[in-house]
Structure 1
Amino acid sequence: MSETAVEPRPEGPPPRQRNRRRLAIGVAAGVALLLAIGLWLAYRPAPGQIQGMADAREVRITSKVTGRIAAFHVEEGQAVRAGQLLYTVASPEIAARSQQAGGALASAQAVENKANTGARPEDIRAAEAQWRRAEAAAALAQTTYQRTQRLHDEGVIAGQKRDEARTNAIASNEAAKAARAQYDQALAGARGEDKAAASGQVRQARGAVAEVEAAAAETRVTAPIAGEIGRRLAQPGELVPQGFPVFVLTDVAHPWVTLNVREDQLRGLARGAELVGAIPALRERRVRFRVTYLAPAGDFATWRATRQSSGFDIKSFEVRVTPVSPVRGLRPGMTVLFEWPQ
């Protein structure tokens, strides 16, 4: 009787069951890895974030004179260059003052010319004639006195007549001296003090003219810097007083970002340090900034202690940063986000 050979059955689970077990182990390992990564991300120290706001210098455009707005030459939102005409002011008072100053200058210059030129030839000849006549009268009076003196010595006339002749001779001689002095004065012209006074009047009148011209120049108001026209605070024909801000000009080409940083976040931050910030309005564009200003003293408290026995008020410091290179599209008021280590 022959024996039938029996094939041995394979030990362990079938291949399909083994594949399922391996798949389950892989899924479990993947889930465990994801959980581990999630826990690590949850408990790791996340970087803080500080929000800053872009700002720029604003210049209020005013005029030094009072007047009515004659015309505007730019519109709100328009980019202007330095020295560009913005608006003009009409001021009749300046025109009147200009005429007054011009007349005062002409008068002062005439007085100065008269002092420097001296007397006219006609005046000099007249003074000389007066001197010659006075000398002739003095000579005649002296001769008359001498004759009267001889007659008095001979006893012909009384002493009263001689005294009268003597007095007349003296008076005539003094009148001749006075006439000669007037003639010399006409020849010499005005005194140095009079010339200096006339020159001072001319300089004073020229100063008044320059003042009026400066005021007239202020009726044409130009842009002190390049920038962008913001708000307009007056209308054509409106009376604006001296120093009234008609325009607000913003220097959009040189913005900066202002941050309020807690004192425990400074950590050696100083001028010249560079930071990287993201600008949401520019599609999260990342830009390098350089610290240009750090407030020397803390301002308001951002965190306050709840109890006096523990904790302290944490002050904030104002920090200003400027772009290392120009950022196209960065405008005042935009938000800039900076990652800050806790």
Structure 2
Amino acid sequence: MSTAEILAQIEKNKKKTLMVILALLLVVTVAFGLFFAKNNAVIAEERDSLTATGTIEAKTVTAAFKIPGKIDAMPVEEGSKVEEGQHLATLENNQLMAKYTQAQGAYEAALSQAEQAGSAVALTEQQVEATISQLQAKVAQAEVGLTDAQQMYDRISRLHQAEAVSDKDYDQAKNNLELAKNQLLEAQAGLDQALASRTQVQVAQAQYQAALGQQTQALGALEEIEATLEDAVLKAPAPGYITQKYLEAGEMVNAGTPVFQITDLERPYVKVFISEEKIGRVQLNQEAEIRVPAFPDKVFKGKVVWINDAGDFAVRRAVSEQHQRDLRSFEVRIDIPNEDLLLKVGMTATVKLVEGEK
């Protein structure tokens, strides 16, 4: 092959190579264009969607004794599931039990004294009123006797003046009248004394009221000891799981010192912030899809349970030709069922609020 032919072949190969390179550049350019277009579309869709990031949280409470003491027993450990009101720990209560026995005995004694005082009131009132009734009848009888004696005396006196009866009959009538007067005076004095004895009933009633007061005081002391004994038992203030155990059996504890931390792991939630441009698309009970890095292929279902009516911090600044202002965001809470306990408190969660057809 001549030199000219070789040069022509080389030139031809250069053209082919250039065409291939140009074709590859075109393909790459188109590919990158499609990639960036798709990426921009995804970003635009992401920006327009109701998607936000938050942290998995859960209701957490601490359990603490109301009184100081030495921890006697702790039947639950970290990780234990507890129900509201379940016994978590107890304090030593030997001294409290001794005080309870004393208070119970004092109350029973006060109760017995009050019952006796109440019975005494009824008995005293019955006796006094019976005596008064008897003396009232006696006074009435004496009044009748005095009336009869007065009438007899008046009749005998007239006859005596007319010398129709003897002095002996007149003296007898006069003596009978004096006797009837004395009997009435004696009966009336006895009735007055009986009426005055009603004060004994008042005294008995006062003693009964005092006994009732002592009974009430003793009952209050007993109930106070009972309440203290109840406070010596630590109960779960809410259902959940023991996520922290701060003390052990045998340790001394002050009133209010946390002993356990209880977290409601089965009902966690996540709070996210939605901008004011999108908050109008968020509704209560709206479904949500939650994803966490620990389970990239799993979608957890939740629903909106709270939307803050007050805006929070600005998410970005909106600028128009006429004015500029800060766009605010609104806090939204989504509850997430978690019976299998896969979600952990503190996990980062991506939340997408599901919108229905418009």
Question: Any residues of structure 2 matched to 1:214-253 within 5 Å, and which?
Answer: 214-235=227-248, 236-241=250-255, 243-253=256-266
Q: 1:109 maps to what in 2? A: 112
| Alignment partners' CA distance in 2, 1:177 and 1:54 | 89
Give the alignment partner of residue 38 of structure 2, picking from 38, 41, 55: 41
> TM-score normalised to the size of structure 1?
0.65
How well do the aligned residues superpose, as a CA RMSD in angstroms? 5.3
Aligned in 2, Cα 1:44/1:180: closer, same or farther, shift over 3 Å? closer
1:76 counterpart letter in structure 2? E
Tell me which amino acid in the other structure corresponds to 2:119: N
C-alpha distance in 2, partners of 1:334/1:178?
A: 92
Contact 1:229 1:249 in 2 (8 A): yes
Moved more, 221-230 or 204-213: 204-213
* Shift in Å, 1:213: 1.5
Question: Partner amino acid for 2:65?
Answer: S
* Structure 1 unaligned residues grouped into runs of 5+: 1-16, 136-167
The residue aligned with 2:342 is: 329
Q: 48, 53, 56: which is aligned to 1:54?
A: 56
Question: Does the alignment pair 1:287 with 2:289?
Answer: no
Following superposition, the deviation at residue 223 of structure 1 comes to 1.8
Instruction: Tell whether the 8 Å contact from 1:276 to 1:338 is kept in structure 2 after alignment.
Output: yes
Equivalent of 2:289, from 255, 273, 276? 276
Q: Aligned in 2, Cα 1:39/1:280: closer, same or farther, shift over 3 Å? A: closer
Whether the 8 Å CA contact 1:50–1:337 is kept in 2: the answer is yes
Does the alignment pair 1:260 with 2:262? no
CA distance in 1, matches of 2:81, 2:89: 15
CA distance in 2, matches of 1:183, 1:264: 90
Which aligned pairs between 1:149-188 and structure 2 lie closer than 5 A? 176-177=190-191
Which is worse superposed, 71-80 or 177-186?
177-186
Q: Is the partner of 2:76 in helix, strand or coil?
A: coil
**What per-residue deviation string (whole Å, max 9, x for no partner) do you get for residues 162-190 of structure 1?**
xxxxxx9999878755775699999x898
Give distance in 2, aligned partners of 1:291 and 1:282: 22
- What TM-score, normalized by structure 2, do the two folds share? 0.63
Give the CA deviation at 1:253.
1.1
**Alpha-carbon contact 2:307-2:331 (below 8 Å) kept:** yes
After superposition, the Cα gap between the structure-2 partners of 1:204 and 1:68, relative to the gap in structure 1 and judged at 3 Å, is: same
Any conservation in 2 of the 1:58–1:251 contact (CA below 8 Å)?
Answer: yes
1:69-84 equivalence runs, <5 A: 69-84=71-86
Aligned mates of 2:253, 2:337 — CA distance in 1: 44
**5+ long unaligned stretches in structure 2:** 1-12, 139-181
CA–CA distance in structure 2, aligned partners of residues 245 and 171 of structure 1: 83
Residue 68 (structure 2) pairs with residue 66 (structure 1): yes
SS at match of 2:299: strand
Q: Deviations over 1:264-304 (max 9, x none)?
A: 34242121212222111223421222111111101233436
Structure 1 range deviating more: 196-205 or 263-272: 196-205
Check 1:289–1:205 CA distance in 2 against 1; reply closer, same or farther (3 A cut).
Answer: same
Question: How many residues are paired up?
Answer: 304
Aligned partner of residue 283 in structure 1, secondary structure: strand
User: Deviation digits for residues 51-93 of structure 1, max 9, x if unmatched?
Assistant: 1111111122123333332232222333223333211123535
Give the partner amino acid of 2:228. A
- How many Å apart are 1:333 and its aligned residue? 1.2
Code of the aligned partner of 1:103: A
SS in structure 1 opposite 2:224? helix
Q: Secondary structure of the equivalent of 1:246?
A: strand
**2:147 matched residue in structure 1:** none
More deviation, 295-304/284-293? 295-304
